Structure 1
């Protein structure tokens, strides 16, 4: 019989309780007895989220340090139905020998069902082609395209699906900092020399990106004036010349004066702002079952008096909560920090070049997660070769418009941890930058007279 789980109620506020420590001991003893010869089990602590395998001592340390994930109802090695769980299930719904945790669950399948919770039922109930050609909303069409690639093996007898293979290869490309051309060469070599003829692997980086674009990992290109006067977007999207300085939108040959063209006949713009929409990525933090419960950490954690662990413990956060009580009443609403600065992406220091990334930090996450590169959200890349200076406001327009929508209207979002849809809002709480960048973002003078932003001396 499974051990009592009352000890789990102490996880959030009182992990020093003796009952909690005894409960952890009994839980791990039971788990490893069930696992037989297995030396590692999935760790259900808040940090690992039941996603990584750890040894007995490591799982114990994690549970005592971080606590067990909220709403944990079944054993990491798989309790049998009918044993003491917080959520009751009848043996008619699940067979007596069926384990609640399936170690062989396809991770891509989990991601798709998290990202498209309203569409995943279609694939289970009716996967016929007749359903797919009917009038479906855009999310359903994206889901079925990705679902097809997930169900299709890379080749006959392959262990990995087409979608899983492409996603993993793109991940390796990013970590290895491969160029697009080198990635295309690798795909062509794999396709021509190592894989069977019936392989469905794409042969170019462009085709691989087309396959995964429905996951919402793309960005928008917005042309900008060469003198940073304006963006060619919204009502000005069709303009050929800057309406302020009358500069051409397109690059021109130095001698001929003709507009320069790419190989396939597309005109080359002078400057391109790359904007990464914020809405789908903030939604995915809630829609993904591995991160959703972390979004409420800043509200549900145990607060230590006199200790600042997170901006939530500071006076600015508390003042914000008092001033905007309706916003702060929903713990899942985002508080964001904005980071921006310029750097030279090229190794040739003799030719200065400054590109400005703008990133956002979600302060809802625990301190061990929110400042990691994987948690930061790249909002835009402001092009060089020089920094935007005072014209940074021109480039920030798309981001500010989206943040304004988050603040005033909100966005309907599915919370995978509570399985409900709620109206998610967001607020920009602070900026993180050096002193020159501070002057650009705030519009204040940071040199000469009245350079200090606090006392104006």
Structure 2
């Protein structure tokens, strides 16, 4: 009995010392020592208390046994996908948003299989110094970085043209920087991904594709395919409504053809922390259901797990808006959480141009995307993996 009592007393003393050390650590790192998350077994960091109350709770309730890393009290997380791991997120952003021109050109190689001369011209721009003696920037890398800034900060076309003109005067003579936005776009267009313009019925009945491709009016509602002008006269050649479709398959292929991105497309299988917490969609029940029902698909970690986000859909006509563009964005969940929601990896697939919100007929516009996804599911596409060669 004496030994048991001594053992319990020793453990109690060690706990009190550890709890006091925790309180001192938390106080040093707290923004407000009078309102800190309480890590006791009952509060579980969900309630804020002053330090004396936390000391009493730790004494009476004990500490939450799952709270190993004190991320709510100033300790840096050991995991790369923690909410508080801001340093790694910043490193990832710099890593993946620092475009390597040669890598981008190699990623676009398949697009020029029928036009090798144009590819060689693109490769030349990627290797040509911005000005004689420049070692930090090539013509293509400088343009890409400047254009990324234009998109990030919503610069107008006129301001960007003025900026290019000013930079051209600042740089040494014989520099390769285009002086206008038009000339810059001509150089960058070589890297672009193709898109398809599909005419649509103004009432969202059909898309003019497949069996309806040559129709001039909707077979369901009878509305003209073409825009109506004054006095309801038809303006030939001007569609009443347009769907812009950006096929995802070529963009998926280009991802795998860039080594650094291809490596991260299996992050969910290679690097994810498996500790019983919900840190990534891979931890969710729906992901596990897919793995169980389609084991062949799950056996290859490079197979892409996708989510679709719709902005502005109005199935019950309860919203009103003055927007004129409605978009469908695709998210790839193979990537780590610090990347999958970044602009670079959020893939615009559909853009519906019309003042009227798509309603319950959104499935009409999803048809070309569904066709491509079904083709990937049933047949697949051979793609070169630059990371695994």
The alpha-carbon distance between structure 1 residues 63 and 138, as it changes in their structure 2 partners (threshold 3 A), is: farther
Choose which of 407, 423, 426 in structure 1 pairs with 2:377. Answer: 407
Aligned twin of 2:290: 320
**2:150 match:** 173
Structure 1 353/109 Cα, relative in aligned 2: closer, same or farther at 3 Å?
closer
- 2:24 aligned partner: none
Q: Show CA shifts across 1:384-428 (max 9, x none).
A: 312211221111111111101110111111212211xxxxxxxxx
Question: Using a 3 Å threshold, how does the CA distance of structure 1 residues 376 and 269 change in structure 2: closer, same or farther?
Answer: same
Structure with the greater alpha carbon radius of gyration = 2
In structure 1, the partner of 2:217 is 241
- The separation in 2 between residues aligned to 1:238 and 1:187, in whole angstroms, is 44
Distance (Å, rounded) in 1 between the aligned partners of 2:77 and 2:104: 26
Residues paired across the two proteins, number: 294
Alignment of 1:4-153 (within 5 A): 65-66=79-80, 107-116=100-109, 137-138=113-114, 140-141=116-117, 143-153=119-129
In 1, Cα distance between the equivalents of 2:219 and 2:155?
Answer: 39
2:386 is aligned to 416
Residue 351 of structure 2: which of 381, 384, 396 is its match? Answer: 381
Tell me which of the two structures has the higher relative contact order, counting C-alpha pairs closer than 8 angstroms and 6 or more residues apart. Answer: 2
Q: By how many angstroms is 1:269 displaced?
A: 2.4
> Aligned in 2, Cα 1:209/1:271: closer, same or farther, shift over 3 Å?
farther
1:256 to partner: Cα distance: 7.6
Deviations 1:348-367 (CA, angstroms, capped at 9, x unpaired): x9973363211111111122
Counterparts of 1:197-346 in structure 2 under 5 Å? 200-202=176-178, 204-255=180-231, 257=233, 259=235, 267-301=237-271, 303-342=273-312
Give unpaired runs (5+ residues) of structure 1: 1-60, 68-104, 120-135, 261-266, 420-457
The structural deviation recorded for 1:254 is 1.6
Give, in angstroms, the shift of residue 219 of structure 1: 2.8
Q: For 2:159 and 2:227, how far apart are their aligned partners in 1?
A: 27
| 1:278, distance to aligned residue in structure 2 (A) | 0.4
In the alignment, the residues of structure 2 paired with residue 318 and residue 180 of structure 1 have an alpha-carbon distance, to the nearest angstrom, of 47
Partner SS state of residue 226, structure 2: coil
Do 1:114 and 1:416's aligned partners in 2 also have CA atoms closer than 8 Å?
no
Alpha-carbon distance in 2 for matches of 1:195, 1:218: 33
Q: Which of 141, 148, 157 is the aligned partner of 1:164?
A: 141
SS in 2 for 1:415: coil
CA distance in 2, matches of 1:281, 1:368: 20
Is 1:398 paired with 2:368?
Answer: yes
TM-aligned CA distance change 1:62 to 1:333, over 3 Å: farther
* Contact 1:342-1:354 at 8 Å conserved across structures: no
1:299-354 Cα shifts (integer Å, max 9, x gaps): 1235534322222222221221121111111111011111112189xxxx997336
- For the Cα contact (< 8 Å) 2:291–2:298, is it kept in 1? yes
Check 1:229–1:207 CA distance in 2 against 1; reply closer, same or farther (3 A cut).
farther
The answer as to whether partners of 2:107 and 2:255 remain within 8 angstroms in 1 is no
TM-score by structure 2 length? 0.65
For residues 232-282 of structure 1, the C-alpha deviation after alignment (integer angstroms, 9 at most, x for no partner) is 23454444333333323332322482528xxxxxx4322221212101221
> TM-score, normalising length from structure 1?
0.56
| Partner Cα distance (2:371, 2:263) in 1 | 28
How far apart in 2 are the matches of 1:294 and 1:276? 23
State the Cα distance separating 1:181 from its structure 2 match.
Answer: 4.8
Secondary structure at 1:312 match in 2 = helix
Q: Give the Cα–Cα distance (whole angstroms) in 1 for the partners of residues 150 and 177 of structure 2.
A: 15
Q: Structure 2 regions of 5+ residues with no counterpart? A: 1-74, 82-97
Structure 1 residues 350 and 327: alpha-carbon distance in aligned structure 2, compared to 1, 3 A threshold: closer
| Alpha-carbon contact 1:226-1:270 (below 8 Å) kept | yes
